[in-house]
Structure 1
Amino acid sequence: MEESVTSENLPVIGQRFRGFLPVVVDVETAGFNSQTDALLEIACIPIVYNENGEFVPGEALHAHINPFEGANLDRRSLEFIGIDPSSPLRIAMAEDEKTALKRIFKALTEVRREQKCTHAVLVGHNAHFDLGFLQAAVARTGTKNQNPFHSFSVFDTVTLSAMMFGQTVLARSCMQAGIEFDGKEAHSALYDTQKTAELFCYILNKLAPHTLDNLVADQ
């Protein structure tokens, strides 16, 4: 009799990427220097399997962040991303860096353990930019011990998109994949993370499909 797939025996990501849990990350910042410029927004989405053995985005984690003390706020960068750090509405819902990172890291660590992974690996569109700002924030806040991310390994959707579509721009790559992309929503960390996660899953499911029977049998 063919074994049925339940929540108890769903395949886990730890079997697929040498124990790495892919987590799509996007940050919005007040400049390009991770050491001096403010981290203003971060979103993270872990990648998991669904009941059909396909890669899918997991639950999103998101935070608006207050600039750290002494942070540089480049006016041109703020205008480009459309964030006003002094907005009363934004101030009311924003967190300090340490609070936001500890909350997000705790949730990601729970997913990492559920997926039997040893580390999270950052997935991003120009991933080392996001990793640099994340690492700078970790150093400022003393959250190294809570940080689930590998210190230098990344999966970059720019490289994957160039290989798959001949495109490197996120919006154009999504359009090639048939993924709806609203330019008016771009430069929101949560929106860009959602679209990058959809793109990453699309590419993985096209290039590296796994049958559900094989995934369950490997457990």
Structure 2
Amino acid sequence: MSATPIAKRVRGFLPVVVDVETAGFDCQRNALLEIAAVVIAGESGELQPVQTLHYHIQPFAGSILDPQALAFNGIDPEHPLRGAISEAEALRDLFRQLRTQVRSQGCRRAVLVGHNANFDLSFIHAAAARENLKNSPFHPFSTLDTVTLAALALGETVLAKAVMRAGLEWDGKQAHSALYDAERTAALFCWIWNRFDRSTLSPFHPLAGATTPSRQE
């Protein structure tokens, strides 16, 4: 199977798998605590991770920290070893590195890939607005959602179940860390995408559109 540059494969978009950990479900009021991003590209004909970025983030001033959310993700925002930085510092570095990847891959902009992707995108948009950052590399509303892809390809919508059904590794003890979940989501995304591209259903497969001669009765 011949390689298709990522810029041509995804309409000029560079897939970036993102996972965020937060202090609640409200992107305007609850703090963004952790973000991980995995850049997806591929020159060999198959998509694969090419860069991973990870940030621990300090709660923004006046944010609400829901105890139930913190119990779920196991994050202690005040832990001295977190190495947390401000939203502004984290997003500036994330955006800068992603813009570099977008240019190097010949793409127009990044598209967020996520498991329930609109949740992750909403927290990035809200944080960028709070910090008055207007140069986000992400498409403002388009996403690629692995919930939909996993439902189609594997009959599962839960990340852990989809990953395991695909025969990939899953460690429940590491789950709900932005870095681990982003890496597992990236593995799932690439597995589904590459499996599709190896089939003749894909318009990028060399044999796509080939017809099988009908049998003479």
Q: Taking structure 1 as the reference length, what is the TM-score of the superposition?
A: 0.88
Measured after TM superposition, the shift of residue 183 of structure 1 is 0.5
List structure 1 segments (4+ residues) > 3 angstroms apart after TM superposition: 209-212
SS of alignment partner, residue 111 of structure 2: strand
**1:183 corresponds to:** 172
CA deviation string 1:144-183 (max 9, x = no partner): 22x1000000000000000011100000000111110001
Alignment of 1:40-51 (within 5 A): 40-50=33-43
1:58 pairs with 2:47:
no
Distance 2:106 2:51 in 1: 17
**1:99 corresponds to:** 89
Task: Choose between structure 1 and 2 for higher RCO, CA contacts under 8 A separated by at least 6 residues.
Answer: 1
**1:68 corresponds to:** 60
**1:130 corresponds to:** 120
Alignment of 1:77-156 (within 5 A): 77-90=69-82, 93-145=83-135, 147-156=136-145
**1:197 corresponds to:** 186
Measured after TM superposition, the shift of residue 58 of structure 1 is 1.5
**2:22 corresponds to which of 22, 29, 33:** 29
Distance 2:5 2:52 in 1: 18
SS of alignment partner, residue 86 of structure 1: coil
The AA in structure 2 aligned to 1:20 is F
Contact 2:197 2:205 in 1 (8 A): no
Distance 1:72 1:131 in 2: 19
Measured after TM superposition, the shift of residue 12 of structure 1 is 2.8
**2:209 corresponds to:** none
**2:7 corresponds to:** 14
Distance 1:36 1:181 in 2: 32
The AA in structure 1 aligned to 2:97 is A
Measured after TM superposition, the shift of residue 102 of structure 1 is 0.5
Distance 1:154 1:11 in 2: 21
Measured after TM superposition, the shift of residue 57 of structure 1 is 1.0
Q: Taking structure 2 as the reference length, what is the TM-score of the superposition?
A: 0.89
SS of alignment partner, residue 89 of structure 1: coil
- 5+ residue gaps, structure 1: 213-219
CA deviation string 1:37-60 (max 9, x = no partner): 00000001111004x211001210
Instruction: Pick the structure with greater CA Rg.
Output: 2
- 5+ residue gaps, structure 2: 199-203, 207-217
Distance 2:60 2:182 in 1: 23
The AA in structure 2 aligned to 1:106 is R
1:160 pairs with 2:149:
yes
Distance 1:26 1:114 in 2: 23
Measured after TM superposition, the shift of residue 88 of structure 1 is 1.2
Percentage of matched positions with identical amino acids: 55
Measured after TM superposition, the shift of residue 211 of structure 1 is 6.0
CA deviation string 1:162-207 (max 9, x = no partner): 0011100000000111110001100000000000000000000011
